[in-house]
Amino acid sequence: MLFKNVSELIQATEENNISIAEVMIRQEVEETGKPREEIFAEMGRNLDIMEKSVEDGLNGVKSTSGLTGGDAVLLKNYMEKGNTLSGELVLDVISKAVATNEVNAAMGTICATPTAGSAGCVPGVLFGLKPRLNPTRKQMINFLFTAGAFGQVIANNAMISGAAGGCQAEVGSAAGMASAAAVEMAGGTPQQSAEAMSMTLKNMLGLVCDPVAGLVEVPCVKRNAMGSSQAIVSADMALAGVTSRIPCDEVIGAMFRIGKSMPSTLRETGEGGLAATPTGRALAAKIFGPAAASKEG
Amino acid sequence: MKFRSVFDVIGPVMIGPSSSHTAGAARIGKMARQLYGRQPKWAKIHLYGSFAKTYQGHGTDVAIVGGLLDFDTFDERIRQAFELAEEAGMAYEFIEEEGASEHPNTARIKIGDDESDFELVGISIGGGKAEITEINGFELRLSGENPAILVLHNDRHGAIASVTSVLADNKINIGHMEVSRRDKGKEAMMIIETDQRIPDEIMERLEGCDHILSVISITE
**Concatenated DSSP letters of A5-16:** SHHHHHHHHHHH
Count the neighbouring beta carbons within 10 Å of the beta carbon of residue B48. 23
Q: What tens digit of pLDDT does each residue of B163-176 get?
A: 999 999 999 999 98
B20/A216 touch (CB, cutoff 8 Å), yes or no: no
Predicted pLDDT of residue A289: 75
Number of domains composing chain A: 1
Give the mean model confidence (pLDDT) for residues A178-199.
98
Q: In the Cβ-directed half-sphere of A81, how many Cα atoms lie within 13 Å? A: 8
Given a contact cutoff of 8 angstroms between Cβ atoms, the answer to whether A262 and A256 are in contact is no
Among the partner-chain residues A39, A108, A295, the one whose CB lies closest to the CB of B16 is A108
Predicted pLDDT of residue A291: 59
Whether residue A290 lies inside any domain: the answer is no
Among the partner-chain residues B16, B57, B76, the one whose CB lies closest to the CB of A214 is B57
Count the neighbouring beta carbons within 10 Å of the beta carbon of residue B31. 24
Whether residue A64 lies inside any domain: the answer is yes
A288/B56 touch (CB, cutoff 8 Å), yes or no: yes
Smallest CA–CA distance from B98 into chain A, residue: A295
CA dihedral A8, A10, A14, A17 (to 10 degrees): 110
Q: What angle do CA A55, A59, A65 make, to 5 degrees?
A: 105
Range of the domain at A261: 6-209+216-267
Measured between beta carbons, which residues in chain A are less than 8 angstroms from residue B59?
107
pTM for the structure as a whole? 0.89
Q: Which has more pLDDT, A32 or A254?
A: A254
Whether residue A282 lies inside any domain: the answer is no
B8/A267 touch (CB, cutoff 8 Å), yes or no: no
Predicted pLDDT of residue A295: 46
Q: Sketch out chain B's domains with CATH numbers.
A: 1-139 (3.30.1330.90), 146-220 (3.30.70.260)
Whether residue A280 lies inside any domain: the answer is no
Whether ipTM > 0.90 holds is yes
Predicted pLDDT of residue A270: 85
- Strand, coil or helix: what is A30? helix
**pLDDT surpassing 70 at residue A121:** yes
Q: What tens digit of pLDDT does each residue of A152-167 get?
A: 999 999 999 998 999 9
B6/A28 touch (CB, cutoff 8 Å), yes or no: yes
Q: What tens digit of pLDDT does each residue of B175-199 get?
A: 989 888 877 777 888 999 998 889 8
Predicted pLDDT of residue B143: 66
| Burial class of residue B199, CB neighbours in 10 A (0-12, 13-18, 19+) | middle
Q: Give the start-end residues of each E strand in chain B.
A: 13-15, 42-48, 91-96, 105-112, 117-126, 129-135, 138-139, 148-154, 174-181, 187-194, 212-217
CATH of the domain at A74: 1.10.4100
Whether residue A1 lies inside any domain: the answer is no
